[in-house]
A and B are shown apart, each in its own frame.
Chain A
Amino acid sequence: MPVRRSRLNFVNLFLWVLGGSILALAAFGAFLTIQQGRLSGDQWQTLIIAGIALGSVYALIALGYTLVYGILFMINFAHGEVFMWGAFTAYFAATALNDAGMMASNPILAFVLVLATAMLVSMLVAVMLERIAYRPLRGAPRLVPLITAIGASLVLQYTARGFYGSGVRAYPDFTLFDGSIELGPVGMTVKQFVVIASAITIMVLLYLFINNTRTGRAMRAVSEDKDVAAMMGINVDRIIVTTFAIGGLLAGAAGILYTLLFNQVHFFMGFLPGIKAFTAAVLGGIGNVIGAALGGLALGILESLGPNLLLTGYGIPAPNQLKDVIAFSVLVLVLIFRPAGFLGRKENV
């Protein structure tokens, strides 16, 4: 069908021109900003570090989305609430330990305890979510679990609201992580360092787990083809539960790292990071584990660097209010030019 093909090419051409000019505008904006020299090198560095810290939290949540998508081809929209429950648990654990004086006397153990409880509770929430909201609908059309996901998300949110109220709660301070450190020429706060280091450690562990263990291999097999995997003697249900459990553990860790950075918990706090992490997962190529990690980092850096770098040069007032606009514009552009994301694997359905 030659006619149709040429029209498609025209559309493609238009899209490429559009994309090209947006990129050129962004590059020119960055050039103008740097020429203005308003922010110093140290400040840019601070912004990048802040972006990496936030991005690594996004990455941890995004991994949960991507793992589940890889296996079930469904978007677990309640994942942001799993994250929120982790943060709330961390809040209560930390407050309890703080009141008991343990955070003063034995801060490292206290932190590990808080991390462990938060991750466990998130894992439980994720597993129950799978058991109650998703498993009964395993054979249903794809939109059905998507809708239950939204329902489950509201249930989790308002359960938290019912238990803990709708106000913002401040997190007790881990004095252990006060201050800042220098890593060679790069300075950052200890909190940022802890967040980045923990996130990277967890992601490396996850990568090793998926590639080097029996369960990991089984997970990959199930994601390739459930039926054949079942025929090979893999208990598919167990693998799916394991996947949700891992996603929950990661979200719990993300919850405590996020509160470590921002010091607040709130029953609605899972929504925005959840959406951002989903964006990150799509950016990197949903279903792709490394893609989710990279997508999260990219989104974090883009958000913190983007407005100041790309918009200040044009003299746009209050550029930072537009940071979500930049993040989501990038998502749209990526979806147009690389529908499968940066590292997306070939679609096989």
Chain B
Amino acid sequence: MQKYTRWSAILVVLMLALAACQSGSGSSGDPVTSADPVTSADPVTSADPGESMGTGTGSAADCDADEFGCIELAEGDPLVIGTALVISGANETLGTDSQIGTEVARQFRPKIADHEVEFDHQDDECGPEGGTAAARALVSTENIAAVIGTSCSGAGVPAAEITSAEGILMVSPSNTAPSLTAEDTHEPFYARTAHNDEIQGAAMAQFVCEELGLTTAATIDDGSPYADQLAAVFARQFEEQCDGTITAEEAVSEGQTDFSGVLENIAADAPEFLYFPIFVAEGALITQQAKATAGLDDTILGGADGYFTPDWLDAAGEDAEGHYLSGPDLDFAGDFYADEFLPAYRDIGGLDEPVSVFHAHAYDAYNMIAEAIEEVAFTDGGTTYIPRTALRDAFFATSGYEGITGSLTCNETGDCADARISVSQVTSGAFERIWPDE
């Protein structure tokens, strides 16, 4: 009898392990939405409320012709945009930051095609299970117009598949894994306003060898598509661009806390640079434990936008000092970002400073979706119709759109970013942008 108890106990452990992967499902918080439109200031808003109706023309027949049909909004219906961002767990700042970005965008542009915009905020939990759950919840929402998400590439892979199968446009403000927009693996309705890590990895490699003048490096990833691919791009570029040597390409697992095995193995070759573009919790632990590893005393540490957040600074403490981090360049041209966007961000988020680096990308994603919707939407007897395939095509045809992050042009696999990478260093407990020079 006892034997069976034990086996059933093991079974339960396995079940728990599975359940654990789906942890932390979040209720969709909707922080402060007393939309107080500041219309006049925004360069992008097509202010005239009387005239902002879609410029598209068509009839109900177009909806039948469209493979995925139309989004149909009766007069007065809200237009629902879903978000699937990580708003719980260790990486919550990454998604919260983008979510506030979308809220700011709505504050400046509360109506799209004459319909009030409503958000359906879901949590991508920064992983495939959360991404799947969030995407399924959103595609089953009636009349959802488009999805802004996901935060993490790991969540983006299944989410893009699910939304594309339903013909729902999904635009990510912060997925950076190359595979998402690679020729073979791109999902037709997926696009992003964040940079592709082919660019970020190359920039970091260039910074390490040209600016820091280092010749040996090691990488650690955590098995997520983001970290895995970014570390690989960095390694390849480091070898190709500057003839550097990669001494080890290690991997850890999510939730791991003791990294002595990995670090000792890396320390055996004493590389000059250690690159671990992973996420907040593990990133902070590796930062601390690398500092305490005997063979890594002189090794310079670096990471990427996955843990470019004050939470990581807090968690890593003094050991963060001197750390190099790559990420999107937030040194935007023009005054809109500093004068209009940031005050609204602080107001809506109740925060002093942005908590991550993709809020502007989320803002641009919202506005590009709005532009595309208004281009293809048409009214017929008071009902607004938005054909889904046409919406996708209009979005992908975006060219030279002037957003906060630059001039955005989408290619056929959904890369829309005006990608500019900068490297920051942690100096006196704060991020300081140091490269490239203005």
Binding site for B on A (CB under 8 A): 38-40, 42-43, 46-47, 50-51, 54, 73, 75, 77, 142-143, 146, 150, 161, 166-170, 173, 189, 258, 261-264, 266, 268, 271-272, 275, 278, 282, 286, 303-305, 307-308, 312, 317-321, 323-324, 335, 339, 347, 349
Contact = CB atoms under 8 A, between A and B. Distances in A.
A170 B268 contact: no
Interface residues of B, number: 54
Which residue among A142, A272, A321, A339 has the maximum number of chain B CB atoms within 10 Å of its CB? A321
Given A286-B6, A304-B258, 6 more contacts: A39-B264, A168-B311, A258-B257, A317-B251, A319-B265, A335-B10
A336 B261 CA distance: 28
B88 A321 contact: no
B317 A170 contact: yes
B411 interface: no
B310 to A, nearest CB: 11
Interface string B292-320: 11110000000000000001001111100
A308 B258 contact: no
Contacts of A268: 20, 23-24, 89
A272 B264 contact: no
A312 to B, nearest CB: 7
Interface in B251-265: 251-253, 255-262, 264-265
A200 B253 CA distance: 29
A266 B253 CA distance: 17
Contacts of B316: 170
B258 A307 contact: no
A318 B251 contact: yes
B317 to A, nearest CB: 6
Nearest to A286: B6
Contacts of A272: 20, 255, 257
Contacts of A271: 16, 20, 23
Given A46-B294, A321-B223, A275 B13 contact: yes
Contacts of B294: 42-43, 46
A33 B259 CA distance: 19
Top-6 shortest CB links A-B: A318-B251, A50-B260, A321-B251, A170-B315, A320-B262, A166-B88
Contact of A263 (B23, B93, B315): B315
Nearest to A178: B292
B92 A308 contact: no
B112 interface: no
A168 B264 contact: no
Given A146-B9, A168-B315, A43 B93 contact: no
A347 B3 contact: yes
Contact of A349 (B1, B260, B267): B1
14 contacts: A42-B294, A77-B12, A150-B16, A167-B90, A167-B311, A168-B280, A264-B315, A272-B20, A305-B261, A312-B265, A318-B251, A320-B250, A320-B261, A321-B251
Contacts of A286: 6
B311 A39 contact: no
Nearest to A173: B317
A167 B24 CA distance: 11
Contacts of A262: 257-258, 285
A304 B260 contact: yes
B278 interface: no
Contacts of B285: 262-264
B61 interface: no
Contact of A166 (B6, B24, B265): B24
Which residue among A43, A161, A320 has the maximum number of chain B CB atoms within 10 Å of its CB? A320
Given A142-B5, A168-B311, A321-B252, A39 B265 contact: yes
B288 interface: yes
Contacts of B264: 39, 43, 46-47, 308
B8 interface: yes
Contacts of B194: none
B293 to A, nearest CB: 8
Given A278-B13, A339-B3, A46 B260 contact: yes
A46 B2 CA distance: 40
A168 B90 contact: yes
Contacts of A278: 13
Nearest to B289: A262
Nearest to B295: A43
Nearest to B90: A168
A170 B284 contact: yes
Contact of A321 (B13, B93, B253, B260): B253
Contact of A47 (B250, B261, B284, B314): B261
A143 B8 contact: yes
A69 to B, nearest CB: 9
A34 B220 CA distance: 23
B169 interface: no
Contacts of B260: 46-47, 50-51, 304
Nearest to B222: A321
Contacts of B280: 168
Contacts of A304: 258, 260-261
Contacts of B93: 167
B250 A50 contact: no
Contacts of B88: 166
Contacts of B26: 166
Given A43-B295, A170-B315, A73 B2 contact: yes
A339 B6 contact: yes
A150 to B, nearest CB: 7
Given A161-B24, A166-B89, A303 B281 contact: no
A39 B268 contact: yes
B212 interface: no
B292 A263 contact: no
A272 B250 CA distance: 22
A318 B93 CA distance: 29
B249 interface: yes
B17 interface: yes
A317 B284 CA distance: 24
B287 to A, nearest CB: 10
A90 B280 CA distance: 21
Given A43-B264, A308-B264, A266 B90 contact: yes
Given A168-B90, A321-B251, A189 B292 contact: yes
Nearest to A191: B292
A146 B251 contact: no
Contacts of A38: 265, 268
B317 A307 contact: no
Contacts of A349: 1-2
Nearest to A172: B317
Contacts of B9: 75, 146
Interface string B86-129: 00111011000000000000000000000000000000000000
